[in-house]
Amino acid sequence: MSPRRELEPEFASYYGRPILKEPTWEARDIAGYLFAGGLAGASSAIAAAAQLTGRPALARVSRIGAVGGLGFSVVALVHDLGRPARFVNMLRVAKPTSPMSVGSWLLAGYGPLAGAALLSDLTGIARPAGYAAGVGAGVLGAGVATYTSALFADTAVPAWHEGRHELPFLFAGSAVCAASGFALIGSPTAQVAPLRTLAVGGAALELSMSARMPRSAGLAGETFGLGRAGALMRSARVATAVGALGAGVLGGRSRAVAAASGLALLAGSALTRFGIFEAGRLSTQDPKYVVVPQRERLAQQDREAATVG
């Protein structure tokens, strides 16, 4: 007897088999991309703000974070394709109904700007143009950091689709944590004051959303606490909280504490993304996450129809 058949479902499933297909995506590539894309996008926003408020060292570190994150993102995205050689087909059409299409165009616009901003910073060539590119990258970066929430929510994967109310804010918070964490590690203590506020704010957003999502996502919400997904989400919360506390309370005094807090923030952000990825995968494996909520919805409609009629 297969292990599937030992399930005790509260409905008659088809031999306990899943209804949905598991995501074809590799965790390393796609959860990794969520993290790296968030790091890149929010780093560009920080770099732009640092440049406009006269913090050149912080701006440079963040530009490096942005281009590093972007580089990883592009490699991961192409690597995850079944036909990597055809990645340019992503730009064959522009479809607002496909967050992946929107994201591809966003990256196509954002990438060159982030690259130009860093290049100009490092070489000193065409500084005004580099500044302008940096501001553009900062604005588009906010989109790069958050569109992935729509990408995940716009699926039939129960945990992701039902988490659609919190995901955008969770991802925004997580991206801010990663980017301020990265900048805390590399910047001189004299320029990190804004990062400390930002890290605390980002962590507050990330933690509150990750606490709320399991409740608002209905039955599938439980997957955020189960197995590997649960372990990842719990470690993420600890890392993020420790990082934010370290950065907020002590980060201004000691370079070492700032760097350690930065590392914890980066780890928290990455763990969150992997946790959400795993929860989604889990929610496709058991048909109950599909059947039970859908049956409840139908029963609700029946009740409403009965009261009206």
Partner 1 sequence: MTKVDLGMPRMGFFTDTTVCIGCKACEVACKEWNAVPAKPLNLTGESFDNTSGLTADSWRHVAFIEKTVPAPGDDGAKDVKWLMSSDVCKHCTHAACLDVCPTGSLFRTEFGTVVVQQDICNGCGYCVSACPYGVIDQREDDGRVFKCTMCYDRIGDGGEPACAKACPTDSIQYGELDLLRDKASRRVAELHAQGLTDARLYGQSPDDGVGGTGAFFLLLDEPETYGLPPDPVVTTRDLPGMWRRTAVAAATLLAGVAVSFAGARR
Which residues inside 70-129 make contact with partner 1, applying CB under 8 A?
80-84, 86-87, 89-90, 92-93, 95-101, 104
- Least distance from C-beta 123 to partner 1, angstroms? 25
197 near partner 1, judged by CB under 8 A = yes
- Least distance from C-beta 125 to partner 1, angstroms? 26
Binding segment for partner 1 (CB under 8 A), chosen from 119-127, 144-152, 219-227, 258-266, is: 144-152
Query: What residues numbered 219-248 form the site for partner 1, per CB under 8 A?
Result: none
Task: Tell me the three state secondary structure of residue 125.
Answer: coil
Among 40, 113, 175, 233, binds partner 1 (CB under 8 A): 175
How many positions of this chain bind partner 1 (CB under 8 A)? 81
Quote the CA–CA distance of 33 and 227 in Å, as a whole number. Answer: 22
Among 109, 115, 186, 201, binds partner 1 (CB under 8 A): 201
Task: Tell me the three state secondary structure of residue 26.
Answer: coil
Query: What residues numbered 272-291 form the site for partner 1, per CB under 8 A?
Result: 284, 287, 290-291
How far the first Cα of the chain sits from its last, in Å, is 48
Write the single-letter amino acid at 267. Answer: A
Quote the CA–CA distance of 165 and 214 in Å, as a whole number. Answer: 11
Task: Tell me the three state secondary structure of residue 82.
Answer: coil
Task: Tell me the three state secondary structure of residue 163.
Answer: coil
- CA–CA distances in Å: residue 99 to residues 87, 104, 152: 16, 8, 9
Quote the CA–CA distance of 304 and 1 in Å, as a whole number. Answer: 42
Of 22 and 238, which has the nearer Cβ to partner 1? 22
Binding segment for partner 1 (CB under 8 A), chosen from 168-176, 210-218, 236-244, 254-262, is: 168-176
Of 60 and 124, which has the nearer Cβ to partner 1? 60
Among 66, 76, 113, 157, binds partner 1 (CB under 8 A): 157
- Least distance from C-beta 118 to partner 1, angstroms? 18
- CA–CA distances in Å: residue 91 to residues 86, 87, 103: 10, 8, 10
